[in-house]
Structure 1
């Protein structure tokens, strides 16, 4: 079903990989339909273009699927081209999907030589596509959520599946994954084997920089907590999973849901450690204590910026005071906090960027990430960036390479220098280093800190031409895999 590319030639240990959940979902749907399916996670497997094509030819597929992100667009184009040109794959149906297709719609087929682009809810649309392939649907026009090629040009079909309950879809085909391959970036996992997991889709908030809040935003839906707990127990009994990273855009979005989830973990005596994402305005001391008692040890907050002026501009619907409270309450609960901040935003100046760094140091989360703003297609800030005429590139080049130059900055080097300054001011504080050393409990933790320091120090090295990612792109790792 999905194949990928790894451009890293080094055999050194690479952090940042988690299972590609979207492909796992489609694999389960296809397998339930009666197909023979394989998901090839090329990044941790070390596949390059040559080995990718060799594996596809050996599998002799009727259908090959690629998940396209803006981050991996160039690699997706090359992968599909190689499939299209191989004589043994001439009759293979090539399907593409993913966020890039969802955003750019029919333009994706104009850029990538695939046969079909799925922009709708792929779990449901794939079944209909398989029915067409088997001849039980007369034409592609009867399949929901597609763009496909015809003699008249590119044709779009309607999508009617987007309101379905997630309980209807089930969970990924976990058998597709070798969990020994997956190691997240240093310090983000306590126990192995681990997996990522998603309990919801969409986001009800409308921050103007976020893809999930853009004009193609999905309706917010969530699995029932009981179903999630059942799946965790299955992951433990069948695969020995000891830790889960929840990749929901906001895991702590509904107090009642989270309370039920935490209560069930304790009632069933499930030995699991876990982490998730939260908003600063949805957290309370009581909820944090309940999460801690059920195994939560790590929470990620999108603080974004260090001034109320910029928070309001981003339509974040949160305050600096709420950020301060959330940080303090999380620390008091004994939970590790991670914070994300952006630099190089529209309306930002270097002085405002410095205030973001100052605020990050004031909050003092256990870990902080300073990303250079990337205009996500389909969002309000993407439109603003394009209209300003100050977009330097439409390609994703990683979170350390500016593709947009705000009016308040003189050059992209000024933004990159500010990002380097942010990391160094935050992580090389004597108080921060002393705190981290005091918490070391094993040699493996020392190794992770060394790896993390090397990642920071490598920021001065020349960047690769492209950085590309799977569903796990929130890690910010470069040299990832394409499906």
Structure 2
């Protein structure tokens, strides 16, 4: 075997995900695999999600690939580095290690020093194809755009690669390379319905400071609506999923595209229930009805905070009242809603958190998630707070989530703030239903409030 694609996410090592059990396949790797396949380059994918590092290493030992391409992100980085150190030994015949993914762009030095031979910076399809040919033929690596490597003890980073302009040139992800039934069955057994992922666009035109655009850039490129509908039809007939998750950053960014999408999905009998993410200002009654017509059952509408002050600090460029109304309108349309909340953003105060609690009560999203803000290297947020970093753990054994910086209050304060927000919102929802449950929630909220004060 000349080239193998793999990653380092092991469900068996993730206690949190074992409680959630909503895994999805490595779609990016499957796109690159399909692209090489379209160029008549035979390749394999070792999907680690339902496997283990031991089984992965045994497979590599058996197949002896010359090149191993590994996807890495901030969540899997630690395991990726462990994997590299195993592979860079005589036992595995020193294969060329190629890394790609969002975490490499702003960590070039670190990943190369950790043992990677090459980094693919940005979109991976064309770069992997050209790098593969250069490695096997002994070609000039400096002529391969979008890579980084070490030569004569110097880090070389070649010219950035131009992004795909026409996404219809990309083949569909090579889903046949992995056992999709593992994912479908896991979803079905744990949630009563199966789900698959699908991508229609690359890039995001918005400027949120905390968000990384390391791979696809601040752009907007989209596959033709008829091609997306064809893929949905194929998934429907081949895999029979109960739902789809559109992984696009802002699914409704183009209303013109959505109109064409509805027409094609209906014409091709490709309707599958789906959920997506978007922004409030890209929704209105007509678009909500359009989405409902083609099977949308849940929309995640970004807010990040209930405080306009914090939203402006994030450069979200949206009115919190507009977000609230759109969530309410979506609920009224019979479509479930979800929203994302981030606490501990630079400058956030107790007043901002109180406003966030009220926002969640008023908007009443079906689902919401809460995280404590952390700076991803390469983002505007990281650049803004770099001089305020108070905790910078060892890079190889930690992730960006563990970086801490000087905030209005301590990080522990915001940990308890998460508890307060959840319990206050759930108390609001439960108060008219079960008095005992409501009392427990209120007690937890009061306790969290007290702990917040102790940890300011």
User: What is the TM-score with the length of structure 1 in the denominator?
Assistant: 0.81
Distance 1:39 1:425, change over 3 A: farther
1:42 paired residue number: 48
SS at match of 1:277: strand
Distance 1:433 1:242, change over 3 A: farther
Distance 1:262 1:184, change over 3 A: farther
1:402 CA drift (Å): 6.2
Tell me the number of residue pairs that the alignment of Structure 1 and Structure 2 aligns. Answer: 429
Could you tell me how far apart the structure 2 residues matched to 1:299 and 1:328 are? 12
1:427 matches 2:429: no
Match of 1:75 among 66, 72, 79: 79
SS at match of 1:70: coil
Which residues in structure 2 correspond to 1:243-392 (within 5 Å)?
Answer: 243-391=243-391
Which residues in structure 2 correspond to 1:150-299 (within 5 Å)?
Answer: 150-182=151-183, 192-212=193-213, 217-299=217-299
Distance 1:175 1:52, change over 3 A: same
Could you tell me how far apart the structure 2 residues matched to 1:215 and 1:294 are? 30
Counterpart contact for 1:191–1:243, Cα < 8 Å? no
Could you tell me how far apart the structure 1 residues matched to 2:260 and 2:238 are? 24
1:445 paired residue number: none
Counterpart contact for 2:78–2:398, Cα < 8 Å? no
Which residues in structure 2 correspond to 1:390-469 (within 5 Å)?
Answer: 390-391=390-391, 393=393, 403-409=403-409, 411-431=410-430
Question: Cα deviation per residue 1:78-126 (whole Å; 9 max; x = unaligned)?
Answer: 11111112x242241111111111222344212x201111113210111
Counterpart contact for 2:84–2:115, Cα < 8 Å? yes
1:16 matches 2:22: yes
1:241 CA drift (Å): 3.1
Could you tell me how far apart the structure 2 residues matched to 1:342 and 1:155 are? 37
Could you tell me how far apart the structure 2 residues matched to 1:309 and 1:427 are? 25
1:223 CA drift (Å): 0.7
SS at match of 2:44: coil
Distance 1:282 1:397, change over 3 A: farther
SS at match of 2:315: coil
Structure 1 spans left out of the alignment, 5+ residues: 436-452, 461-483
Could you tell me how far apart the structure 1 residues matched to 2:83 and 2:105 are? 19
**CA RMSD, Structure 1 to Structure 2 (Å):** 3.0
Distance 1:155 1:247, change over 3 A: same
2:130 paired residue number: 128
Question: Cα deviation per residue 1:432-480 (whole Å; 9 max; x = unaligned)?
Answer: 8959xxxxxxxxxxxxxxxxx9xx9xxx9xxxxxxxxxxxxxxxxxxxx
Counterpart contact for 1:251–1:276, Cα < 8 Å? yes
SS at match of 1:22: helix
Could you tell me how far apart the structure 1 residues matched to 2:20 and 2:429 are? 28
Counterpart contact for 1:61–1:92, Cα < 8 Å? yes
User: What is the TM-score with the length of structure 2 in the denominator?
Assistant: 0.86
SS at match of 1:130: helix
1:190 CA drift (Å): 7.7
1:71 CA drift (Å): 2.4
If asked which structure has higher relative contact order (CA below 8 Å, sep 6+), I would say: 1
Distance 1:339 1:296, change over 3 A: same
1:446 paired residue number: none
